[in-house]
Amino acid sequence: MSQVSIVNHDQKEFWNDIKGKLWVEMQARIDSMLSPFGEKALRTLNPQKGEKILEIGCGTGTMTLALAEHVKTSGQILAADISHPMLELAVSRGKAASADSISFVEADAQVYTFPTGEFDALFSRFGVMFFENPIAAFRNFHGAVRKGGRLVYVCWADRKDNPWIRIPTGASKEFLEIPPPPETDAPGQFAMEREARVREILGKAGWSKIELERFDIDHSLGQNVQDAAGFISKMGPMSEPFALADNRTKQKCLEAIQFALKPYENSTGVQMRFGTWIVSAARS
């Protein structure tokens, strides 16, 4: 695991401080929530034995291990992330699984010098929405993939179609200083919510055969409102201000989130809508 130059300094700081540490602590819970989306993107990619795959934003390594299972020992995975604490866990999990086909790099993928034309495919589960210059980033990835290679990633779609994050964040604003949402198309969770923006980025970066498939599901945020509120307060946009708040403020915030989530609670848990894009493209 090596380090290189950084241009996305805000993202480097963000994912190496409280946020990155929280995601490490909640790795199993977050992976459980994101599992349907990663699995759908993996089916779309359809990785084959012996392939070389570049993974962007590998996080704690769950999809990295899944990719390695598909390419077998004759294939290779290069997994990149900007978060040191998350990568440490990913490396540890890779070693525990004896996944010798995996290499990790701590890097800002927008500017990292990947091997030219080396990879059969690029894959990402929610790891491509935070680039300072997404066109430059995807142009960099384009150079790393061989001619005829492919790209598949999953990202969040329209924020109005993601009440699982919008509603609890709104409820917490009365008690926490939540950072204002990024401007449209700016780096952040919903940077690629617009289909036209995705097509513009990939087209200008040199990709062809660009396709977007909506993948929306009703999915569990928790076993009940208490469970869901406790989880989202550590995982969502309110996670940093919540972590820094005093106990009384935290309790009031949790109560407000629980109240907001109550209409979505039933016998199967807190069921809410999750909206994503499954994006695919090719290098001509």
pLDDT category of residue 7 using cuts at 50, 70 and 90: low
Give the domain range for residue 70: 9-161+183-221+273-282
By the 8 A CB rule, do 74 and 45 touch?
no
Report the distance separating Cα 51 and Cα 71, nearest Å.
6
**232 located within any domain:** no
Mean pLDDT over the full length of the chain: 94
Using the predicted structure, report yes or no on whether residue 101 has a pLDDT greater than 90.
yes
**214 located within any domain:** yes
Q: What is the CATH number of the domain that holds 86?
A: 3.40.50.150
The 10s digit of each residue's pLDDT in 209-230 is 999 999 999 999 999 999 999 9
pLDDT category of residue 86 using cuts at 50, 70 and 90: very high
Task: Please give the tally of structural domains in the chain.
Answer: 1
Q: How much is the average pLDDT of 107-119?
A: 96
Location of structure tokens 């004896």: 98
By the 8 A CB rule, do 195 and 129 touch?
no
Q: What is the pLDDT of residue 140?
A: 98
Q: What is the pLDDT of residue 172?
A: 96
| pLDDT above 70: percentage of residues in the chain | 97
**4 located within any domain:** no
Using the predicted structure, report yes or no on whether residue 243 has a pLDDT greater than 80.
yes
Q: How much is the average pLDDT of 34-40?
A: 98
Report the distance separating Cα 259 and Cα 106, nearest Å.
40
**45 located within any domain:** yes
Q: What is the pLDDT of residue 5?
A: 55
H or E element in which residue 78 lies: strand 76-81
Location of structure tokens 């525990």: 96
**267 located within any domain:** no
**118 located within any domain:** yes
| Burial track 8-30 (b if 16+ CB lie within 10 A, e otherwise) | beebbebbbebbbebbbebbebb
**195 located within any domain:** yes
User: Could you count the other beta carbons within 10 Å of the beta carbon of residue 74?
Assistant: 10
The 10s digit of each residue's pLDDT in 182-202 is 889 999 999 999 999 999 999
**228 located within any domain:** no
| pLDDT above 90: percentage of residues in the chain | 88
The 10s digit of each residue's pLDDT in 135-171 is 999 999 999 999 999 999 999 999 999 999 999 999 9
Using the predicted structure, report yes or no on whether residue 6 has a pLDDT greater than 70.
no
